[in-house]
A and B are shown apart, each in its own frame.
Chain A
Protein backbone atom coordinates (compact mmCIF):
# COMPACT_ATOMS: atom_id res chain seq x y z
CA UNK A 1 0.00 0.00 0.00
CA UNK A 2 1.47 3.29 -1.07
CA UNK A 3 -0.80 5.41 1.06
CA UNK A 4 -1.35 3.87 4.48
CA UNK A 5 -4.48 4.29 6.53
CA UNK A 6 -3.92 6.34 9.69
CA UNK A 7 -2.63 4.62 12.79
CA UNK A 8 -4.90 4.05 15.80
CA UNK A 9 -4.10 3.07 19.38
CA UNK A 10 -6.29 0.40 20.94
CA UNK A 11 -7.30 0.25 24.61
CA UNK A 12 -9.18 -2.74 25.93
CA UNK A 13 -10.97 -3.27 29.23
CA UNK A 14 -10.49 -6.95 29.95
CA UNK A 15 -13.06 -7.22 32.73
CA UNK A 16 -15.74 -4.99 34.23
CA UNK A 17 -14.18 -3.02 37.07
CA UNK A 18 -10.71 -3.00 35.55
CA UNK A 19 -9.33 -0.04 33.63
CA UNK A 20 -8.74 0.07 29.87
CA UNK A 21 -5.20 -0.95 29.07
CA UNK A 22 -3.16 -0.19 25.98
CA UNK A 23 -3.22 -3.34 23.82
CA UNK A 24 -1.48 -2.20 20.66
CA UNK A 25 -2.09 -0.30 17.49
CA UNK A 26 -3.54 -0.88 14.03
CA UNK A 27 -4.39 0.84 10.77
CA UNK A 28 -7.93 1.92 9.82
CA UNK A 29 -9.56 4.49 7.56
CA UNK A 30 -11.99 5.81 10.18
CA UNK A 31 -13.01 5.37 13.81
CA UNK A 32 -15.73 2.82 13.11
CA UNK A 33 -13.34 0.67 11.11
CA UNK A 34 -10.71 1.02 13.83
CA UNK A 35 -13.20 -0.32 16.37
CA UNK A 36 -14.13 -3.29 14.17
CA UNK A 37 -10.49 -4.03 13.38
CA UNK A 38 -9.62 -3.82 17.07
CA UNK A 39 -12.41 -6.26 17.84
CA UNK A 40 -11.03 -8.71 15.28
CA UNK A 41 -7.33 -8.25 15.99
CA UNK A 42 -7.30 -7.96 19.78
CA UNK A 43 -10.44 -9.53 21.28
CA UNK A 44 -10.97 -12.72 19.31
CA UNK A 45 -9.84 -14.85 22.24
CA UNK A 46 -12.26 -13.34 24.69
CA UNK A 47 -9.84 -10.68 25.94
CA UNK A 48 -12.23 -7.83 26.43
CA UNK A 49 -15.58 -6.33 27.34
CA UNK A 50 -14.97 -2.79 26.07
CA UNK A 51 -12.75 -1.13 23.49
CA UNK A 52 -11.48 2.42 23.06
CA UNK A 53 -9.67 3.55 19.94
CA UNK A 54 -7.92 6.86 19.49
CA UNK A 55 -6.02 8.08 16.49
CA UNK A 56 -2.33 7.97 17.36
CA UNK A 57 -1.67 11.50 16.15
CA UNK A 58 -4.01 12.79 18.88
CA UNK A 59 -1.76 11.47 21.62
CA UNK A 60 0.76 13.93 23.02
CA UNK A 61 3.77 12.02 24.26
CA UNK A 62 6.74 13.05 26.37
CA UNK A 63 10.04 13.15 24.56
CA UNK A 64 12.59 10.55 25.76
CA UNK A 65 15.38 13.10 25.34
CA UNK A 66 13.72 15.17 28.09
CA UNK A 67 13.74 12.25 30.53
CA UNK A 68 16.50 13.91 32.56
CA UNK A 69 14.57 17.01 33.48
CA UNK A 70 11.22 15.22 33.65
CA UNK A 71 11.96 12.16 35.74
CA UNK A 72 15.41 12.23 37.34
CA UNK A 73 14.63 14.91 39.94
CA UNK A 74 12.19 12.44 41.54
CA UNK A 75 14.84 9.78 42.00
CA UNK A 76 16.47 11.17 45.15
CA UNK A 77 13.27 12.26 46.86
CA UNK A 78 12.73 9.06 48.82
CA UNK A 79 10.71 10.98 51.41
CA UNK A 80 7.91 11.23 48.85
CA UNK A 81 7.26 7.56 49.49
CA UNK A 82 5.49 6.89 52.77
CA UNK A 83 8.29 4.56 53.90
CA UNK A 84 9.26 6.29 57.15
CA UNK A 85 6.19 5.38 59.16
CA UNK A 86 6.40 2.65 61.80
CA UNK A 87 3.63 0.21 61.03
CA UNK A 88 1.94 -1.73 63.83
CA UNK A 89 2.63 -5.48 63.53
CA UNK A 90 -1.03 -6.28 62.98
CA UNK A 91 -1.01 -4.53 59.63
CA UNK A 92 0.32 -6.85 57.00
CA UNK A 93 0.88 -6.68 53.28
CA UNK A 94 1.72 -3.00 53.13
Chain B
Protein backbone atom coordinates (compact mmCIF):
# COMPACT_ATOMS: atom_id res chain seq x y z
CA UNK B 1 0.00 0.00 0.00
CA UNK B 2 2.65 2.47 1.10
CA UNK B 3 4.88 1.72 -1.87
CA UNK B 4 1.98 1.94 -4.31
CA UNK B 5 0.90 5.28 -2.90
CA UNK B 6 4.46 6.58 -3.15
CA UNK B 7 4.71 5.52 -6.80
CA UNK B 8 1.27 6.86 -7.53
CA UNK B 9 2.19 10.32 -6.20
CA UNK B 10 5.39 10.28 -8.24
CA UNK B 11 3.40 9.47 -11.35
CA UNK B 12 1.30 12.59 -10.87
CA UNK B 13 4.15 14.82 -9.72
CA UNK B 14 6.57 13.91 -12.51
CA UNK B 15 4.13 15.10 -15.20
CA UNK B 16 4.06 18.56 -13.62
CA UNK B 17 7.79 18.57 -12.88
CA UNK B 18 8.90 17.73 -16.40
CA UNK B 19 6.36 20.00 -18.09
CA UNK B 20 7.30 22.78 -15.66
CA UNK B 21 10.96 22.37 -16.58
CA UNK B 22 10.12 22.41 -20.29
CA UNK B 23 8.18 25.64 -19.94
CA UNK B 24 10.90 27.10 -17.75
CA UNK B 25 13.34 26.66 -20.62
CA UNK B 26 11.35 29.34 -22.46
CA UNK B 27 12.20 31.95 -19.81
CA UNK B 28 13.69 34.84 -21.74
CA UNK B 29 12.98 33.14 -25.08
CA UNK B 30 9.20 33.52 -25.43
CA UNK B 31 8.06 34.80 -28.79
CA UNK B 32 6.99 38.02 -27.07
CA UNK B 33 7.39 39.45 -23.59
CA UNK B 34 3.75 38.69 -22.78
CA UNK B 35 3.78 35.01 -23.85
CA UNK B 36 7.16 34.56 -22.20
CA UNK B 37 5.69 35.64 -18.87
CA UNK B 38 2.55 33.56 -19.44
CA UNK B 39 4.51 30.35 -20.11
CA UNK B 40 6.86 30.82 -17.18
CA UNK B 41 3.86 31.61 -14.98
CA UNK B 42 2.37 28.26 -15.88
CA UNK B 43 5.75 26.71 -15.20
CA UNK B 44 5.79 28.25 -11.72
CA UNK B 45 2.25 27.00 -11.04
CA UNK B 46 3.39 23.50 -11.96
CA UNK B 47 6.51 23.68 -9.77
CA UNK B 48 4.34 24.83 -6.90
CA UNK B 49 2.12 21.79 -7.35
CA UNK B 50 5.16 19.57 -7.60
CA UNK B 51 6.41 20.73 -4.20
CA UNK B 52 3.16 19.69 -2.51
CA UNK B 53 3.34 16.26 -4.12
CA UNK B 54 7.01 15.63 -3.33
CA UNK B 55 6.67 16.86 0.25
CA UNK B 56 3.91 14.32 0.67
CA UNK B 57 5.94 11.62 -1.09
CA UNK B 58 8.92 12.32 1.21
CA UNK B 59 6.67 11.96 4.23
CA UNK B 60 5.37 8.62 2.98
CA UNK B 61 8.83 7.34 2.08
CA UNK B 62 9.77 8.04 5.67
CA UNK B 63 13.53 7.81 5.07
CA UNK B 64 16.10 10.59 5.04
CA UNK B 65 15.16 11.87 1.60
CA UNK B 66 13.71 15.36 1.24
CA UNK B 67 11.34 16.67 -1.43
CA UNK B 68 14.39 17.94 -3.34
CA UNK B 69 16.12 14.56 -3.28
CA UNK B 70 13.07 12.87 -4.70
CA UNK B 71 12.57 15.51 -7.36
CA UNK B 72 16.18 15.91 -8.42
CA UNK B 73 18.18 12.80 -7.72
CA UNK B 74 16.44 9.95 -9.48
CA UNK B 75 17.72 8.28 -12.62
CA UNK B 76 15.90 8.58 -15.93
CA UNK B 77 14.13 5.23 -15.63
CA UNK B 78 12.72 6.25 -12.25
CA UNK B 79 10.79 9.18 -13.71
CA UNK B 80 7.18 8.20 -14.36
CA UNK B 81 5.93 11.12 -16.44
CA UNK B 82 4.02 10.58 -19.67
CA UNK B 83 6.01 10.95 -22.89
CA UNK B 84 3.88 13.92 -23.96
CA UNK B 85 5.25 16.36 -21.39
CA UNK B 86 8.93 15.68 -22.14
CA UNK B 87 8.59 16.57 -25.83
CA UNK B 88 10.74 19.57 -26.78
CA UNK B 89 9.70 23.20 -27.37
CA UNK B 90 10.13 22.75 -31.12
CA UNK B 91 8.29 26.00 -31.83
CA UNK B 92 5.52 28.00 -30.20
CA UNK B 93 2.82 25.85 -31.83
CA UNK B 94 4.40 22.71 -30.31
CA UNK B 95 4.63 24.37 -26.92
CA UNK B 96 0.95 25.31 -27.11
CA UNK B 97 -0.12 21.96 -28.60
CA UNK B 98 1.68 19.99 -25.88
CA UNK B 99 0.18 22.25 -23.21
CA UNK B 100 -3.33 21.94 -24.61
CA UNK B 101 -3.22 18.14 -25.01
CA UNK B 102 -1.98 17.87 -21.42
CA UNK B 103 -4.23 20.54 -19.86
CA UNK B 104 -7.46 18.89 -21.00
CA UNK B 105 -6.33 15.68 -19.31
CA UNK B 106 -4.83 17.44 -16.29
CA UNK B 107 -8.01 19.36 -15.45
CA UNK B 108 -10.21 16.25 -15.79
CA UNK B 109 -7.77 14.27 -13.68
CA UNK B 110 -7.55 16.84 -10.87
CA UNK B 111 -11.31 17.33 -10.87
CA UNK B 112 -11.66 13.62 -10.08
CA UNK B 113 -8.72 13.56 -7.67
CA UNK B 114 -10.62 16.00 -5.45
CA UNK B 115 -12.81 13.02 -4.48
CA UNK B 116 -9.86 10.88 -3.42
CA UNK B 117 -10.04 8.96 -0.14
CA UNK B 118 -6.61 10.33 0.55
CA UNK B 119 -7.14 13.65 2.32
CA UNK B 120 -3.79 15.19 1.34
CA UNK B 121 -4.21 14.37 -2.34
CA UNK B 122 -7.76 15.71 -2.39
CA UNK B 123 -6.62 18.98 -0.81
CA UNK B 124 -3.74 19.38 -3.27
CA UNK B 125 -6.16 18.69 -6.13
CA UNK B 126 -8.58 21.35 -4.90
CA UNK B 127 -5.82 23.96 -4.93
CA UNK B 128 -4.50 22.90 -8.36
CA UNK B 129 -7.86 22.83 -10.15
CA UNK B 130 -8.07 26.62 -10.29
CA UNK B 131 -4.57 27.00 -11.66
CA UNK B 132 -5.05 24.32 -14.27
CA UNK B 133 -8.41 25.76 -15.36
CA UNK B 134 -6.51 28.87 -16.34
CA UNK B 135 -3.79 26.85 -18.11
CA UNK B 136 -6.47 25.20 -20.20
CA UNK B 137 -8.11 28.50 -21.01
CA UNK B 138 -4.75 29.92 -22.10
CA UNK B 139 -3.74 26.95 -24.25
CA UNK B 140 -7.21 26.45 -25.82
CA UNK B 141 -7.41 30.12 -26.77
CA UNK B 142 -4.02 29.90 -28.43
CA UNK B 143 -4.87 26.72 -30.34
CA UNK B 144 -7.94 28.48 -31.71
CA UNK B 145 -6.02 31.66 -32.44
CA UNK B 146 -3.24 29.90 -34.33
CA UNK B 147 -5.69 27.62 -36.13
CA UNK B 148 -7.77 30.57 -37.27
CA UNK B 149 -4.75 32.81 -37.86
CA UNK B 150 -2.61 32.96 -40.97
CA UNK B 151 -1.96 30.01 -43.28
CA UNK B 152 1.48 29.64 -41.68
CA UNK B 153 0.17 29.60 -38.10
CA UNK B 154 -2.53 27.12 -39.08
CA UNK B 155 -0.01 24.81 -40.75
CA UNK B 156 2.30 24.91 -37.73
CA UNK B 157 -0.52 24.32 -35.26
CA UNK B 158 -1.79 21.40 -37.32
CA UNK B 159 1.68 19.91 -37.54
CA UNK B 160 2.12 20.16 -33.77
CA UNK B 161 -1.22 18.49 -33.01
CA UNK B 162 -0.62 15.74 -35.57
CA UNK B 163 2.92 15.04 -34.31
CA UNK B 164 1.98 15.04 -30.63
CA UNK B 165 -1.18 13.01 -31.14
CA UNK B 166 0.70 9.73 -30.80
CA UNK B 167 1.47 10.59 -27.13
CA UNK B 168 -2.15 11.22 -26.07
CA UNK B 169 -3.33 7.67 -25.48
CA UNK B 170 -0.68 7.06 -22.84
CA UNK B 171 -2.48 9.52 -20.56
CA UNK B 172 -5.04 6.74 -20.02
CA UNK B 173 -2.56 3.93 -19.44
CA UNK B 174 -2.56 2.44 -15.95
CA UNK B 175 0.49 1.09 -14.11
CA UNK B 176 0.07 -1.54 -11.40
CA UNK B 177 0.35 1.17 -8.76
CA UNK B 178 -2.38 3.13 -10.56
CA UNK B 179 -4.71 0.12 -10.56
CA UNK B 180 -4.06 -0.58 -6.88
CA UNK B 181 -4.75 3.02 -5.95
CA UNK B 182 -7.98 3.09 -7.94
CA UNK B 183 -9.01 -0.08 -6.11
CA UNK B 184 -8.28 1.62 -2.76
CA UNK B 185 -10.37 4.64 -3.70
CA UNK B 186 -7.27 6.85 -3.61
CA UNK B 187 -6.51 7.09 -7.30
CA UNK B 188 -8.43 8.27 -10.35
CA UNK B 189 -9.56 5.69 -12.89
CA UNK B 190 -8.08 7.42 -15.92
CA UNK B 191 -9.62 4.95 -18.36
CA UNK B 192 -12.95 6.60 -17.58
CA UNK B 193 -11.64 10.02 -18.61
CA UNK B 194 -10.72 8.96 -22.12
CA UNK B 195 -14.01 9.50 -23.99
CA UNK B 196 -14.57 12.97 -22.57
CA UNK B 197 -10.96 13.83 -23.25
CA UNK B 198 -11.15 13.15 -26.96
CA UNK B 199 -14.56 14.77 -27.37
CA UNK B 200 -13.28 17.92 -25.62
CA UNK B 201 -10.15 17.97 -27.78
CA UNK B 202 -12.17 17.42 -30.95
CA UNK B 203 -14.52 20.26 -30.06
CA UNK B 204 -11.66 22.76 -29.67
CA UNK B 205 -9.88 21.50 -32.81
CA UNK B 206 -13.11 22.01 -34.71
CA UNK B 207 -13.37 25.60 -33.43
CA UNK B 208 -9.75 26.05 -34.44
CA UNK B 209 -10.61 24.76 -37.93
CA UNK B 210 -7.94 22.09 -37.50
CA UNK B 211 -8.15 18.47 -38.55
CA UNK B 212 -8.53 15.75 -35.96
CA UNK B 213 -5.63 13.33 -36.53
CA UNK B 214 -6.75 9.88 -37.64
CA UNK B 215 -3.67 7.97 -36.52
CA UNK B 216 -4.54 5.04 -34.27
CA UNK B 217 -0.97 4.13 -33.40
CA UNK B 218 0.13 5.39 -30.02
CA UNK B 219 3.39 5.54 -28.07
CA UNK B 220 3.56 4.35 -24.47
CA UNK B 221 6.33 3.75 -21.97
CA UNK B 222 6.80 6.94 -19.96
CA UNK B 223 4.67 5.81 -17.06
CA UNK B 224 6.84 2.67 -16.78
CA UNK B 225 10.05 4.69 -17.01
CA UNK B 226 10.83 4.05 -20.68
CA UNK B 227 11.28 7.50 -22.16
CA UNK B 228 12.00 9.23 -25.46
CA UNK B 229 15.52 10.49 -26.07
CA UNK B 230 14.48 13.99 -25.01
CA UNK B 231 14.16 13.27 -21.29
CA UNK B 232 17.87 12.59 -20.72
CA UNK B 233 18.85 16.04 -21.94
CA UNK B 234 16.14 17.66 -19.88
CA UNK B 235 17.26 15.83 -16.74
CA UNK B 236 20.90 16.74 -17.23
CA UNK B 237 19.80 20.37 -17.20
CA UNK B 238 17.48 19.91 -14.25
CA UNK B 239 19.93 17.91 -12.15
CA UNK B 240 23.16 19.65 -13.13
CA UNK B 241 23.65 21.61 -9.93
CA UNK B 242 23.04 18.73 -7.51
CA UNK B 243 25.10 16.30 -9.60
CA UNK B 244 28.05 18.67 -9.89
CA UNK B 245 27.96 20.00 -6.33
CA UNK B 246 26.30 17.25 -4.27
CA UNK B 247 24.29 18.50 -1.28
CA UNK B 248 24.72 22.08 -2.36
CA UNK B 249 22.27 24.46 -0.69
CA UNK B 250 21.41 28.10 -1.06
Contacts from A to B (Cβ < 8 Å): 1, 5, 26-30, 32-33, 36-37, 39-41, 44
Given contacts A41-B37, A44-B41, contact A36 B137 (CB under 8 A): yes
Tell me which of B34, B35, B134 has the highest count of chain A C-beta atoms within 10 A of its own C-beta: B34
- Residues on B with beta carbons closer than 8 Å to the beta carbon of A26: 33-34
B32 pairs with A36, CB closer than 8 A? no
User: What would 24 A/B residue contacts be, using CB atoms closer than 8 Å?
Assistant: A1-B31, A1-B32, A5-B32, A26-B33, A26-B34, A27-B32, A27-B33, A27-B34, A28-B34, A32-B141, A33-B145, A36-B38, A36-B138, A37-B34, A37-B35, A37-B37, A37-B38, A40-B34, A40-B38, A40-B41, A41-B33, A41-B34, A44-B37, A44-B41
B window 138-155: CB within 8 A of A: 138, 141, 145
- Residues on B with beta carbons closer than 8 Å to the beta carbon of A1: 31-32
- Residues on A with beta carbons closer than 8 Å to the beta carbon of B145: 29-30, 33
B window 19-66: CB within 8 A of A: 31-35, 37-38, 41
List the B residue with the shortest CB-CB distance to A8: B34
List the B residue with the shortest CB-CB distance to A26: B34
Contacts from B to A (Cβ < 8 Å): 31-35, 37-38, 41, 134, 137-138, 141, 145
Q: How many A-B residue pairs have CB under 8 A?
A: 32
- Residues on A with beta carbons closer than 8 Å to the beta carbon of B31: 1
Known: A27-B32, A37-B34. 18 other contacts (CB 8 A): A1-B31, A5-B32, A26-B34, A27-B33, A28-B34, A32-B141, A36-B38, A36-B137, A36-B138, A37-B38, A40-B34, A40-B37, A40-B38, A40-B41, A41-B34, A41-B37, A44-B37, A44-B41
- Residues on B with beta carbons closer than 8 Å to the beta carbon of A32: 141
- Residues on B with beta carbons closer than 8 Å to the beta carbon of A39: 134
In angstroms, Cα B37 to Cα A40, docked, is: 7
List the B residue with the shortest CB-CB distance to A44: B41
In angstroms, Cα B34 to Cα A1, docked, is: 13
List the A residue with the shortest CB-CB distance to B31: A1
List the B residue with the shortest CB-CB distance to A28: B34
B141 pairs with A33, CB closer than 8 A? yes
List the A residue with the shortest CB-CB distance to B39: A40
List the B residue with the shortest CB-CB distance to A40: B38
Lowest 3 CB-CB distances: which A-B pairs, in order?
A37-B34, A40-B38, A40-B37
Tell me which of A26, A32, A33 has the highest count of chain B C-beta atoms within 10 A of its own C-beta: A33
In angstroms, Cα B37 to Cα A41, docked, is: 7
- Residue of A5, A36, A40, A44 near B141 (CB, 8 A) is A36
In angstroms, Cα B34 to Cα A30, docked, is: 13
Q: How far is the CB of B217 from chain A (nearest CB, A)?
A: 35
List the A residue with the shortest CB-CB distance to B141: A32
In angstroms, Cα B37 to Cα A32, docked, is: 16
- Residues on A with beta carbons closer than 8 Å to the beta carbon of B32: 1, 5, 27
- Residues on B with beta carbons closer than 8 Å to the beta carbon of A40: 34, 37-38, 41
